[in-house]
Amino acid sequence: QKEVEQNSGPLSVPEGAIASLNCTYSDRGSQSFFWYRQYSGKSPELIMFIYSNGDKEDGRFTAQLNKASQYVSLLIRDSQPSDSATYLCAVNSLSSGSARQLTFGSGTQLTVLP
């Protein structure tokens, strides 16, 4: 059973601070990793993906991947109230044959306080 674990939160940070969201996964064969943002009542929207160990930056967002530790994180710099949402970590790994499946964590609820 492939598992993706996230702290459910809620995580509260003041406006302008750095929010750090963490995710661990159980399948060492996992090859690609995704962060989605989901506002209440809405569908998930992609923030970024990462495949290689290290950091990947996109604007205020930085994804960090450490395959040896089976750990992926998302940093949000200069957090804004509009960043308040649930953040879903998703891990893509080979399921059977050539088919791949995304396994989602349960999400971390982030609140940015004005």
Partner 1 sequence: DGGITQSPKYLFRKEGQNVTLSCEQNLNHDAMYWYRQDPGQGLRLIYYSQIVNDFQKGDIAEGYSVSREKKESFPLTVTSAQKNPTAFYLCASSASNSGGSRDTQYFGPGTRLTVL
Choice between 17 and 38, CB closer to partner 1: 38
50: Cβ–Cβ under 8 A, 6 or more apart, which residues? 32, 33, 56, 63, 64, 65, 72
Told to check if 63 binds partner 1 by CB under 8 A, we report no
Instruction: Quote the CA–CA distance of 29 and 36 in Å, as a whole number.
Output: 21
Residue 89 beta carbon to partner 1: minimum distance, rounded to whole angstroms: 9
SS3 track for 3-59? CEEECCCCEEEECCCCEEEEEEECCCCCCEEEEEEECCCCCCEEEEEECCCEEEEEC
Exactly one of 8, 53, 66, 80 binds partner 1 (CB under 8 A); which one? 8
Among 63, 88, 110, 112, binds partner 1 (CB under 8 A): 88
Map residues 25-54 to x or -, x wherever contact with partner 1 holds by CB under 8 A.
------xx-x-x-----xxxxx--x-x---
Interaction site with partner 1 (CB under 8 A): 4, 8, 31-32, 34, 36, 42-46, 49, 51, 88, 90, 92, 98-102, 104-107
